[in-house]
Amino acid sequence: MRMIRKVVLIAEAVMSFAPMVLIWLLGFFMSPVFLFGLLAGVDIELATVLLAITLGGIGLWGVVHLTIKVIQPNYRVITPRVLKRFLACGYLAVFIAIQLFDPELQELAVIFLPPLLVTTHFMYLARGYLWQRVTGAK
C-alpha cells in the first residue's frame, strides 16, 4: 500500500473518530457518577447510559483493530469473529446514544454519522479478512 493512501486513511479515521472519542472519554470519566446515581436509585435510564459507554469502548477497540488491519493488511490483529462482534457493539452503542438524545436535540445526532460511514468503509476495505473462510475448523 502506498504511503499517501495510508496517510489519507489515517486522517480519515482521526477526523471522523476524534469527536466520538472525546464524547466517549467524557462518559467514561463520568461513569462512576452514573453508577453511583444508578445504585442510589436516582434514574434507571443511567443503566442505558452505562451500557452505551461500555459498548462504545468495546466498539472503539474494534475500530482500532480494524484500522490497523486496513493500514497494515499483514499485521496480526484479533480474529475476524471477535472483530465483527466488537464492531457490532460499537454500532449498537451509537444507536443507543442516539435514542438517549433529547427530542429537541435530535438533530445533533448527525455527529455520529462520520464514524458510522468510516467504519463501514473500513469494513469494506477489510472485507477479505472479515469474511474469510476458515478451513479445517470444526
Find all residues with CB under 8 Å of 78, minimum gap 6, and list them: 62, 65, 86
At CB < 8 A and 24+ separation, what contacts does 19-28 make?
Answer: 19/111, 20/56, 20/60, 20/111, 20/112, 20/115, 21/60, 23/111, 24/53, 24/56, 24/57, 24/60, 27/52, 27/53, 27/56, 28/53, 28/57
pLDDT tens, position by position, 88-111: 999 999 999 888 887 777 778 888
Summarised one tens digit per residue, pLDDT across range 24-79 is 999 999 999 999 999 988 888 899 999 999 999 999 999 999 999 999 988 889 99
pLDDT level of residue 1 (50, 70, 90 thresholds): low
The pLDDT of residue 99 is: 87
The per-residue pLDDT for 45 is 86
